Amino acid sequence: MLSNIKHAFRSLAAVLSLLLVGTGIFAQSAIEEALFANGFENVRHISKAGKEIIFIESESFTHGDRVVESVKNAVETLIPEFKSKNIEVILMEERIPKFRLYSTLADDPSSSRWYSDFNVEEGIAALNDIDGKKFENSSFGKVDLKFYPIFRFKNSRLDVMYLLQLNINPTLEISLWRGATATAQVIFPLLNDYSTEEGRIRPGFLTLSQQFRLPFNIHAMATVGNFNMFRAGADLKLYKPVGSRTGVYAQLSYTAYSVPFFNDWYYTNPDKFTWKVGANYIVKPWNLMFNLNLAKYLGNDLSVRGEVTRYFRNAAVGFYVQTMDIPDFPVNGGFYFAISLPPYKHKRNKFVRVSAGNYFPLEYIARPYTEHGRYFTTSPDENSSYNFFTKMRLNQIILNSTNN
Protein backbone atom coordinates (compact mmCIF):
# COMPACT_ATOMS: atom_id res chain seq x y z
CA MET A 1 0.00 0.00 0.00
CA LEU A 2 2.78 2.41 0.99
CA SER A 3 4.71 1.60 -2.16
CA ASN A 4 1.61 2.37 -4.27
CA ILE A 5 1.22 5.75 -2.55
CA LYS A 6 4.89 6.57 -3.18
CA HIS A 7 4.53 5.53 -6.81
CA ALA A 8 1.45 7.75 -7.15
CA PHE A 9 3.28 10.74 -5.68
CA ARG A 10 6.25 10.14 -7.99
CA SER A 11 3.90 10.01 -10.98
CA LEU A 12 2.14 13.20 -9.85
CA ALA A 13 5.51 14.93 -9.35
CA ALA A 14 6.60 13.89 -12.83
CA VAL A 15 3.40 15.28 -14.37
CA LEU A 16 3.74 18.56 -12.46
CA SER A 17 7.37 18.87 -13.53
CA LEU A 18 6.39 18.48 -17.16
CA LEU A 19 3.66 21.07 -16.76
CA LEU A 20 5.98 23.51 -15.02
CA VAL A 21 8.63 23.11 -17.69
CA GLY A 22 5.98 23.74 -20.29
CA THR A 23 5.01 27.00 -18.61
CA GLY A 24 8.62 28.15 -18.34
CA ILE A 25 8.84 28.09 -14.50
CA PHE A 26 11.67 25.55 -14.59
CA ALA A 27 13.05 26.92 -17.85
CA GLN A 28 16.03 28.67 -16.29
CA SER A 29 19.27 27.44 -17.77
CA ALA A 30 22.75 27.91 -16.38
CA ILE A 31 23.22 30.69 -18.91
CA GLU A 32 20.08 32.52 -17.79
CA GLU A 33 20.97 32.12 -14.13
CA ALA A 34 24.43 33.57 -14.78
CA LEU A 35 22.87 36.57 -16.51
CA PHE A 36 20.46 37.06 -13.57
CA ALA A 37 23.48 37.12 -11.27
CA ASN A 38 24.93 39.97 -13.34
CA GLY A 39 21.84 42.08 -12.68
CA PHE A 40 19.95 41.59 -15.96
CA GLU A 41 16.24 40.96 -16.32
CA ASN A 42 13.77 39.89 -19.01
CA VAL A 43 16.24 37.22 -20.07
CA ARG A 44 15.73 34.39 -22.54
CA HIS A 45 18.29 32.03 -24.05
CA ILE A 46 17.51 30.14 -27.25
CA SER A 47 19.89 27.55 -28.68
CA LYS A 48 19.37 26.98 -32.41
CA ALA A 49 21.35 24.96 -34.89
CA GLY A 50 24.61 26.85 -35.26
CA LYS A 51 23.58 29.90 -33.18
CA GLU A 52 22.96 31.03 -29.61
CA ILE A 53 20.36 33.82 -29.23
CA ILE A 54 20.07 35.75 -25.98
CA PHE A 55 17.38 38.30 -25.16
CA ILE A 56 18.39 40.61 -22.34
CA GLU A 57 17.45 43.88 -20.68
CA SER A 58 19.07 46.22 -18.21
CA GLU A 59 17.21 49.00 -16.41
CA SER A 60 20.24 51.21 -17.04
CA PHE A 61 19.87 50.82 -20.80
CA THR A 62 20.84 54.42 -21.47
CA HIS A 63 24.25 53.77 -19.89
CA GLY A 64 25.28 52.15 -23.16
CA ASP A 65 28.93 51.67 -22.26
CA ARG A 66 28.26 49.76 -19.05
CA VAL A 67 25.47 47.66 -20.58
CA VAL A 68 27.53 46.64 -23.59
CA GLU A 69 30.59 45.88 -21.48
CA SER A 70 28.65 43.83 -18.93
CA VAL A 71 26.85 41.89 -21.68
CA LYS A 72 30.12 41.09 -23.43
CA ASN A 73 31.84 40.05 -20.20
CA ALA A 74 28.91 37.88 -19.10
CA VAL A 75 28.62 36.15 -22.48
CA GLU A 76 32.35 35.57 -22.85
CA THR A 77 32.56 33.87 -19.45
CA LEU A 78 29.81 31.46 -20.55
CA ILE A 79 31.66 30.08 -23.59
CA PRO A 80 31.82 26.51 -22.13
CA GLU A 81 28.01 26.51 -21.76
CA PHE A 82 27.26 27.31 -25.40
CA LYS A 83 26.74 24.70 -28.09
CA SER A 84 27.80 27.19 -30.74
CA LYS A 85 30.22 30.10 -30.71
CA ASN A 86 27.98 32.17 -33.01
CA ILE A 87 26.34 34.51 -30.50
CA GLU A 88 23.52 37.00 -30.99
CA VAL A 89 22.48 39.24 -28.09
CA ILE A 90 19.31 41.31 -28.46
CA LEU A 91 19.04 44.27 -26.10
CA MET A 92 15.54 45.32 -25.11
CA GLU A 93 13.76 48.17 -23.39
CA GLU A 94 10.52 47.34 -21.55
CA ARG A 95 10.66 43.96 -23.33
CA ILE A 96 10.72 45.63 -26.77
CA PRO A 97 13.71 44.43 -28.88
CA LYS A 98 15.80 47.40 -29.93
CA PHE A 99 19.37 46.50 -30.83
CA ARG A 100 21.59 43.53 -31.68
CA LEU A 101 25.15 42.61 -30.71
CA TYR A 102 26.70 39.60 -32.42
CA SER A 103 30.03 37.81 -32.55
CA THR A 104 31.76 34.55 -33.35
CA LEU A 105 33.53 33.94 -30.06
CA ALA A 106 37.19 32.95 -30.11
CA ASP A 107 38.73 30.55 -27.60
CA ASP A 108 40.51 33.58 -26.19
CA PRO A 109 37.66 36.03 -25.37
CA SER A 110 39.98 39.04 -25.60
CA SER A 111 40.41 38.41 -29.33
CA SER A 112 36.66 38.17 -30.07
CA ARG A 113 35.25 40.90 -32.30
CA TRP A 114 31.74 42.22 -31.63
CA TYR A 115 29.49 43.93 -34.17
CA SER A 116 26.11 45.62 -33.97
CA ASP A 117 23.05 46.60 -35.96
CA PHE A 118 19.28 46.91 -35.60
CA ASN A 119 18.36 43.64 -37.38
CA VAL A 120 16.37 41.92 -34.62
CA GLU A 121 13.73 40.23 -36.79
CA GLU A 122 15.43 36.80 -36.88
CA GLY A 123 15.70 36.70 -33.11
CA ILE A 124 12.06 37.73 -32.66
CA ALA A 125 10.97 35.00 -35.10
CA ALA A 126 12.95 32.40 -33.13
CA LEU A 127 11.33 33.56 -29.89
CA ASN A 128 7.84 33.47 -31.41
CA ASP A 129 8.42 29.91 -32.65
CA ILE A 130 8.97 28.81 -29.03
CA ASP A 131 6.44 30.54 -26.81
CA GLY A 132 5.63 34.06 -27.89
CA LYS A 133 8.06 36.32 -26.01
CA LYS A 134 8.11 34.80 -22.53
CA PHE A 135 11.04 36.05 -20.46
CA GLU A 136 12.64 34.89 -17.23
CA ASN A 137 13.07 37.32 -14.32
CA SER A 138 10.38 39.56 -15.82
CA SER A 139 10.29 43.25 -14.93
CA PHE A 140 6.47 43.24 -14.89
CA GLY A 141 5.11 45.05 -11.85
CA LYS A 142 8.51 46.13 -10.51
CA VAL A 143 8.87 49.64 -9.13
CA ASP A 144 11.73 52.15 -9.23
CA LEU A 145 11.81 55.11 -6.87
CA LYS A 146 14.22 57.60 -8.44
CA PHE A 147 15.33 61.06 -7.34
CA TYR A 148 15.93 63.52 -10.17
CA PRO A 149 17.94 66.62 -9.15
CA ILE A 150 16.99 69.71 -11.15
CA PHE A 151 19.07 72.90 -11.14
CA ARG A 152 18.03 76.01 -13.07
CA PHE A 153 19.18 79.62 -13.17
CA LYS A 154 18.34 82.76 -15.10
CA ASN A 155 19.44 86.40 -15.27
CA SER A 156 16.27 88.47 -15.49
CA ARG A 157 16.64 91.08 -12.71
CA LEU A 158 19.03 93.97 -12.13
CA ASP A 159 19.18 93.68 -8.33
CA VAL A 160 20.61 90.13 -8.30
CA MET A 161 23.09 88.33 -10.51
CA TYR A 162 21.05 85.13 -10.99
CA LEU A 163 17.76 83.66 -9.89
CA LEU A 164 18.30 80.06 -8.77
CA GLN A 165 16.12 77.00 -8.47
CA LEU A 166 17.05 73.60 -7.04
CA ASN A 167 14.57 70.73 -6.87
CA ILE A 168 14.84 67.11 -5.85
CA ASN A 169 11.99 65.28 -7.53
CA PRO A 170 11.08 61.80 -6.21
CA THR A 171 9.59 59.74 -9.03
CA LEU A 172 7.87 56.36 -9.14
CA GLU A 173 8.38 54.41 -12.36
CA ILE A 174 6.34 51.22 -12.65
CA SER A 175 6.91 48.60 -15.34
CA LEU A 176 3.54 47.38 -16.59
CA TRP A 177 2.66 45.15 -19.52
CA ARG A 178 5.08 44.73 -22.41
CA GLY A 179 6.33 48.12 -23.56
CA ALA A 180 4.37 50.13 -20.97
CA THR A 181 5.60 52.32 -18.11
CA ALA A 182 3.67 54.48 -15.64
CA THR A 183 5.44 57.50 -14.11
CA ALA A 184 4.33 59.61 -11.14
CA GLN A 185 6.52 62.46 -9.89
CA VAL A 186 6.40 64.98 -7.06
CA ILE A 187 8.33 68.25 -7.45
CA PHE A 188 10.04 69.03 -4.16
CA PRO A 189 11.70 72.51 -4.18
CA LEU A 190 14.80 72.94 -2.02
CA LEU A 191 15.74 76.43 -3.24
CA ASN A 192 13.53 78.69 -5.31
CA ASP A 193 14.02 82.28 -6.54
CA TYR A 194 11.55 81.91 -9.38
CA SER A 195 7.79 82.33 -8.88
CA THR A 196 5.75 81.68 -5.75
CA GLU A 197 3.95 78.82 -7.49
CA GLU A 198 7.22 77.10 -8.38
CA GLY A 199 8.19 77.12 -4.72
CA ARG A 200 5.28 74.85 -3.80
CA ILE A 201 5.39 71.07 -3.54
CA ARG A 202 3.31 69.85 -6.46
CA PRO A 203 2.88 66.99 -8.98
CA GLY A 204 5.34 66.81 -11.87
CA PHE A 205 5.30 64.17 -14.61
CA LEU A 206 2.17 62.00 -14.46
CA THR A 207 2.33 59.81 -17.55
CA LEU A 208 1.59 56.48 -19.15
CA SER A 209 3.86 55.53 -22.06
CA GLN A 210 3.69 52.64 -24.50
CA GLN A 211 6.58 51.54 -26.73
CA PHE A 212 6.10 49.33 -29.79
CA ARG A 213 7.70 48.34 -33.08
CA LEU A 214 6.10 49.10 -36.41
CA PRO A 215 6.83 47.51 -39.79
CA PHE A 216 10.05 48.52 -41.59
CA ASN A 217 11.94 48.58 -38.26
CA ILE A 218 10.28 51.79 -37.03
CA HIS A 219 10.39 52.23 -33.24
CA ALA A 220 7.60 54.23 -31.61
CA MET A 221 6.56 55.53 -28.21
CA ALA A 222 3.19 57.06 -27.37
CA THR A 223 2.79 59.01 -24.12
CA VAL A 224 -0.25 60.61 -22.47
CA GLY A 225 -0.37 62.63 -19.28
CA ASN A 226 1.13 65.69 -17.63
CA PHE A 227 4.54 66.79 -18.93
CA ASN A 228 6.88 69.68 -18.07
CA MET A 229 6.80 73.24 -19.47
CA PHE A 230 3.19 73.45 -18.16
CA ARG A 231 1.90 71.10 -20.87
CA ALA A 232 -0.34 68.04 -20.76
CA GLY A 233 -1.81 65.90 -23.51
CA ALA A 234 -0.64 63.29 -26.00
CA ASP A 235 2.73 62.77 -27.67
CA LEU A 236 4.01 60.33 -30.30
CA LYS A 237 7.68 59.71 -31.13
CA LEU A 238 8.96 57.72 -34.13
CA TYR A 239 12.52 56.65 -34.90
CA LYS A 240 13.94 54.63 -37.79
CA PRO A 241 17.58 53.54 -38.11
CA VAL A 242 18.92 54.05 -41.64
CA GLY A 243 22.17 52.24 -42.30
CA SER A 244 24.90 51.92 -39.71
CA ARG A 245 25.27 55.59 -38.77
CA THR A 246 22.09 57.51 -39.58
CA GLY A 247 18.63 57.68 -38.09
CA VAL A 248 15.52 59.71 -38.94
CA TYR A 249 12.80 60.66 -36.49
CA ALA A 250 9.57 62.55 -35.95
CA GLN A 251 7.52 63.78 -33.01
CA LEU A 252 3.88 64.87 -32.94
CA SER A 253 2.19 66.44 -29.90
CA TYR A 254 -1.23 67.83 -29.05
CA THR A 255 -1.27 69.50 -25.65
CA ALA A 256 -3.04 71.89 -23.30
CA TYR A 257 -1.84 74.34 -20.67
CA SER A 258 -1.56 72.49 -17.34
CA VAL A 259 -0.49 73.57 -13.84
CA PRO A 260 -1.30 70.85 -11.27
CA PHE A 261 -1.29 71.41 -7.50
CA PHE A 262 -2.45 69.04 -4.81
CA ASN A 263 -5.40 71.27 -3.91
CA ASP A 264 -6.31 72.33 -7.46
CA TRP A 265 -5.41 71.85 -11.11
CA TYR A 266 -5.42 74.74 -13.59
CA TYR A 267 -5.73 73.69 -17.22
CA THR A 268 -7.23 74.61 -20.57
CA ASN A 269 -8.60 72.64 -23.47
CA PRO A 270 -5.94 71.29 -25.88
CA ASP A 271 -4.75 74.29 -27.83
CA LYS A 272 -1.32 73.56 -29.29
CA PHE A 273 -0.17 71.20 -32.02
CA THR A 274 3.63 70.93 -32.09
CA TRP A 275 5.88 68.71 -34.16
CA LYS A 276 9.49 67.91 -34.94
CA VAL A 277 11.27 66.08 -37.79
CA GLY A 278 14.97 65.44 -37.99
CA ALA A 279 17.93 63.14 -38.45
CA ASN A 280 21.06 62.23 -36.52
CA TYR A 281 24.42 60.88 -37.61
CA ILE A 282 27.22 59.32 -35.56
CA VAL A 283 30.97 59.67 -36.10
CA LYS A 284 32.29 56.58 -34.35
CA PRO A 285 36.01 57.23 -33.85
CA TRP A 286 35.32 60.41 -31.85
CA ASN A 287 32.03 59.37 -30.18
CA LEU A 288 30.25 62.31 -31.78
CA MET A 289 26.61 62.64 -32.74
CA PHE A 290 25.35 65.31 -35.12
CA ASN A 291 21.68 66.17 -35.00
CA LEU A 292 19.56 68.43 -37.21
CA ASN A 293 15.82 69.05 -36.98
CA LEU A 294 13.00 71.35 -37.99
CA ALA A 295 10.28 71.91 -35.40
CA LYS A 296 7.17 73.88 -34.58
CA TYR A 297 7.71 74.94 -30.96
CA LEU A 298 5.49 76.03 -28.08
CA GLY A 299 5.57 79.65 -29.25
CA ASN A 300 3.94 78.51 -32.53
CA ASP A 301 7.25 79.35 -34.19
CA LEU A 302 9.21 77.34 -36.75
CA SER A 303 12.89 76.82 -36.04
CA VAL A 304 15.84 74.84 -37.37
CA ARG A 305 18.19 73.49 -34.70
CA GLY A 306 21.60 71.91 -35.17
CA GLU A 307 23.46 70.04 -32.41
CA VAL A 308 26.78 68.29 -31.94
CA THR A 309 27.27 66.09 -28.86
CA ARG A 310 30.43 64.43 -27.57
CA TYR A 311 29.82 61.32 -25.44
CA PHE A 312 32.19 60.22 -22.70
CA ARG A 313 31.96 57.26 -20.33
CA ASN A 314 30.03 59.09 -17.61
CA ALA A 315 28.99 62.33 -19.28
CA ALA A 316 27.95 64.05 -22.50
CA VAL A 317 28.61 67.63 -23.62
CA GLY A 318 26.93 69.35 -26.55
CA PHE A 319 26.48 72.66 -28.34
CA TYR A 320 23.55 73.90 -30.40
CA VAL A 321 22.68 76.69 -32.85
CA GLN A 322 19.06 77.55 -33.54
CA THR A 323 17.20 79.91 -35.85
CA MET A 324 14.54 82.05 -34.20
CA ASP A 325 11.26 83.38 -35.56
CA ILE A 326 11.91 86.76 -33.92
CA PRO A 327 13.00 89.68 -36.18
CA ASP A 328 15.32 91.25 -33.58
CA PHE A 329 16.76 87.94 -32.43
CA PRO A 330 17.14 85.68 -35.51
CA VAL A 331 19.77 83.24 -34.17
CA ASN A 332 20.38 81.68 -30.78
CA GLY A 333 22.84 79.17 -29.36
CA GLY A 334 24.05 77.57 -26.19
CA PHE A 335 25.39 74.40 -24.64
CA TYR A 336 24.10 71.45 -22.63
CA PHE A 337 25.53 68.55 -20.71
CA ALA A 338 24.45 65.47 -18.79
CA ILE A 339 26.38 63.65 -16.06
CA SER A 340 25.70 60.02 -15.12
CA LEU A 341 24.74 59.64 -11.48
CA PRO A 342 25.88 56.74 -9.27
CA PRO A 343 25.28 53.95 -8.58
CA TYR A 344 26.40 52.89 -12.05
CA LYS A 345 25.29 49.29 -11.69
CA HIS A 346 21.70 48.67 -10.67
CA LYS A 347 20.18 45.37 -9.65
CA ARG A 348 16.52 44.58 -9.32
CA ASN A 349 16.65 41.91 -6.65
CA LYS A 350 13.93 43.65 -4.66
CA PHE A 351 10.41 44.61 -5.66
CA VAL A 352 11.15 48.32 -5.09
CA ARG A 353 14.54 49.78 -6.00
CA VAL A 354 15.67 53.21 -4.79
CA SER A 355 18.30 55.14 -6.74
CA ALA A 356 19.22 58.46 -8.28
CA GLY A 357 18.04 59.26 -11.78
CA ASN A 358 20.26 58.11 -14.60
CA TYR A 359 21.56 61.60 -15.35
CA PHE A 360 21.89 65.14 -14.07
CA PRO A 361 21.23 67.35 -17.13
CA LEU A 362 21.60 71.10 -17.65
CA GLU A 363 21.02 73.28 -20.71
CA TYR A 364 22.19 76.87 -20.98
CA ILE A 365 19.65 79.05 -22.74
CA ALA A 366 20.42 82.69 -23.54
CA ARG A 367 17.15 84.29 -24.58
CA PRO A 368 14.56 86.72 -23.22
CA TYR A 369 11.48 84.58 -23.95
CA THR A 370 9.85 81.49 -22.50
CA GLU A 371 8.27 79.42 -25.30
CA HIS A 372 9.89 80.35 -28.61
CA GLY A 373 12.32 77.65 -29.69
CA ARG A 374 11.37 75.41 -26.76
CA TYR A 375 9.78 71.95 -26.62
CA PHE A 376 8.59 70.04 -23.57
CA THR A 377 9.81 66.59 -22.52
CA THR A 378 7.55 63.65 -21.71
CA SER A 379 9.65 61.91 -19.03
CA PRO A 380 12.04 63.01 -16.28
CA ASP A 381 15.00 61.11 -17.79
CA GLU A 382 14.73 62.84 -21.19
CA ASN A 383 17.17 65.62 -22.13
CA SER A 384 19.13 66.94 -25.10
CA SER A 385 21.92 64.37 -24.69
CA TYR A 386 19.86 61.25 -23.95
CA ASN A 387 16.39 60.77 -25.39
CA PHE A 388 14.28 58.38 -27.45
CA PHE A 389 15.94 59.54 -30.68
CA THR A 390 19.56 59.23 -29.56
CA LYS A 391 20.02 56.45 -27.02
CA MET A 392 19.51 53.61 -29.52
CA ARG A 393 22.60 54.87 -31.37
CA LEU A 394 24.77 55.24 -28.29
CA ASN A 395 25.46 51.51 -27.98
CA GLN A 396 27.03 51.57 -31.44
CA ILE A 397 29.33 54.41 -30.38
CA ILE A 398 30.43 52.53 -27.27
CA LEU A 399 30.81 49.20 -29.07
CA ASN A 400 33.14 50.78 -31.62
CA SER A 401 35.22 52.29 -28.82
CA THR A 402 35.56 49.02 -26.91
CA ASN A 403 36.48 47.11 -30.08
CA ASN A 404 39.20 49.63 -30.86
pLDDT score recorded for residue 12 = 38
* 238 in Cβ contact with 259 (< 8 Å): no
Which of 44, 35, 29, 50 has its CA nearest to residue 90?
44
Burial environment of residue 277 by CB neighbours within 10 A (0 to 12, 13 to 18, 19 or more): middle
pLDDT in tens, 226-262: 999 899 999 999 999 988 789 999 999 999 999 888 8
pLDDT in tens, 284-327: 778 899 999 999 999 888 999 999 999 988 889 999 999 988 88
Which fold is adopted by the domain 9-130? Diaminopimelate Epimerase; Chain A, domain 1 (3.10.310)
Query: DSSP for 329-354?
Result: --EEEEEEEEEEPSPSS----SSEEE
Kindly state the average pLDDT of the residues 44-53: 83
Kindly state the average pLDDT of the residues 127-140: 72
**Nearest-5° Cα angle at 268, 277 to 154:** 65
pLDDT exceeds cutoff 80 at 263: yes
Confidence band for 273, pLDDT divided at 50, 70 and 90: very high
Residue 21 burial (CB count, 10 A):
11
* 68 in Cβ contact with 398 (< 8 Å): yes
Residue 148 CB contacts under 8 Å (≥ 6 apart), including other chains: 168, 169, 171, 185, 356, 357, 380, 381
pLDDT score recorded for residue 27 = 46
Q: Enumerate the domain spans of the chain.
A: 9-130, 143-403
Measured in Å, how far apart are the chain's first and last C-alpha atoms? 70
pLDDT in tens, 177-212: 889 999 999 999 888 777 777 778 899 999 999 999
Which of 334, 380, 388 has its CA nearest to residue 360?
380
pTM score of the predicted model: 0.83
% of the chain beyond a pLDDT of 90: 28
